Chains A and B, each alone.
Chain A
């Protein structure tokens, strides 16, 4: 489990100092905007390798997300076990192409990226591993823009391994 817990302190510091929203906002550097996401896209290996959530979002979408109450993120306050944490995301936003779920304190933040074909309702539930207490961030790509919601999940029995 040691490998799981060894997390770079600098990123945590930035997170705490700046707040999550602004970190995501700060990630909005000029980056080639990808063609509208589609369900045949290739596996985004690079994004899954990024340590931090801001870097992963930047790799995936080339822009930043703004916090939005239209993104509904359902996560337990206290995870019964970090190995299996139910997370569901849905939204009323129109034209949703992707939903990304990031676990900030995991060794690599990006946990899952879901792609929705036109007409597929933007709603997904899955179960994730969390190494320790962490913010969980849902990023919704809708109409080419990014919207996010964040929730803290308390993890007392770490489950980054499974």
Chain B
């Protein structure tokens, strides 16, 4: 299975720019399918970004975050080649994580 997580992170002189895209339906629980039945809520609740063994940024999401959610943020420090670990967990207990190198 290919990863559900795509990360682009580039380390600058003072801070590291991070962008991520996660493949996830982010079903709100308010939408009906073709048969008129409600699609149950299914959304990512927590995404954490770890660098150097510490969490630098956490996202807590409700069902109002768009499908295949996108994030952009920065953190201080970080050098080219460092690991950045991304982990998500959804409301059904599913989870995925990936480690990518800072560019």
Contacts and interface: CB of A to CB of B under 8 A. Distances in A.
The answer to A–B direct touch (Cβ < 8 A) is: yes
Interface of A: 1, 3-4, 39-41, 43-44, 48, 83-85, 88, 103, 106-108, 110-117, 119-121, 123-130, 159-162
Given A4-B31, A40-B55, A48-B60, 9 more contacts: A39-B48, A44-B60, A111-B65, A114-B73, A121-B74, A124-B73, A126-B69, A160-B31, A162-B66
Most buried by A among B28, B38, B46, B56: B28
A158 to B, nearest CB: 10
B59 A48 contact: no
Q: How large is the interface on B (under 10, 10 to 19, 20 to 34, 35 or more residues)?
A: 35 or more
Query: In terms of DSSP, what is the predominant structure of the interface of chain B?
Result: strand
B65 A120 contact: no
A124 B20 CA distance: 12
B72 A83 contact: no
A127 B70 contact: yes
Nearest to A40: B55
17 contacts: A3-B30, A4-B31, A39-B57, A43-B46, A111-B62, A112-B61, A113-B59, A114-B59, A115-B58, A115-B59, A117-B57, A117-B75, A120-B74, A125-B72, A129-B28, A161-B39, A162-B28
B27 interface: yes
B77 interface: yes
B45 interface: yes
Contacts of B66: 83-85, 126-129, 159, 162
A83 B61 contact: no
A125 B62 contact: no
B92 interface: no
Contacts of A39: 48, 55-58
A119 B46 CA distance: 21
Given A111-B64, A124-B71, A128-B65, A116 B57 contact: yes
A126 B45 contact: no
B1 to A, nearest CB: 22
B26 interface: yes
A110 B65 contact: no
A139 to B, nearest CB: 13
A88 B19 CA distance: 13
A126 B31 CA distance: 21
Contact of A120 (B62, B72, B73): B73
B34 to A, nearest CB: 13
